[in-house]
Amino acid sequence: MDETTSDDPSPRTWDDEPESPARTSAEEEGPTRTSVWPLVVAMGLTVSEVGVFMGVYPLAVGGLVLFVASVAGITHEAGYTGRPWRLAGALGVVLVAVGVWMVSTQVPLAVDPVVAAVGGADGIVLRGFSVVGAGLVAAVGAAVVSAMGDGDVDDGFPA
């Protein structure tokens, strides 16, 4: 018996590939798109940490606002929200609450003790104020942008 004989007249080589199934439209469009939001989230966290922990108020506020905006943007891009402004406003309110909590753990919530703590350059109180400031900027900014709408005349409150 000869082992080299077979029913298939043409020998198969490694270069021969079986026919591939029909390609889907996603495969024909090319490579998938990569989001830039993870980089912006990381940058926002880094800048805010440097600002909050080093006591640099503008960096803390800017980094936290960048973080809030990027989290809202990534959820919008992923399709979890129709518009990112409600989430950005809600995260801003959360930041205000966290900042007020930070301040309240150090001094009683009255005007005189808070002013004295700020005058004495208490680090935790100043960090709490930076978190409150970032929350206010995020909440007010989200409300303003949301109220502006898409530019259509028939737009109500679009958030």
pLDDT of residue 3: 55
Residue with tokens 């990569």: 34
User: What separation in angstroms does the CA of 64 have from each of 24, 72, 99, 116?
Assistant: 41, 12, 12, 26
List Cβ neighbours of 79 (8 Å cut-off, separation of 6 or more): none
pLDDT of residue 11: 60
pLDDT of residue 135: 94
Picking from 133, 135, 116, 108, the residue whose alpha carbon sits closest to that of residue 56 is 133
SS3 108: coil
d(CA 136, CA 115) in angstroms, rounded, equals 19
pLDDT of residue 128: 85
User: What separation in angstroms does the CA of 137 have from each of 70, 150, 155?
Assistant: 14, 21, 24
d(CA 59, CA 134) in angstroms, rounded, equals 10
pLDDT of residue 98: 94
End-to-end CA distance of the chain: 80
pLDDT of residue 35: 77
pLDDT tens-place values along the chain, 159 residues long:
555 555 655 665 555 555 555 555 545 565 667 778 888 888 998 998 888 778 788 998 999 999 999 999 899 888 888 888 899 999 999 999 999 998 888 887 777 777 777 777 667 778 888 899 999 999 999 999 888 876 454 545 454
Which tokens hold the place of 32? 């998938």
d(CA 159, CA 147) in angstroms, rounded, equals 8
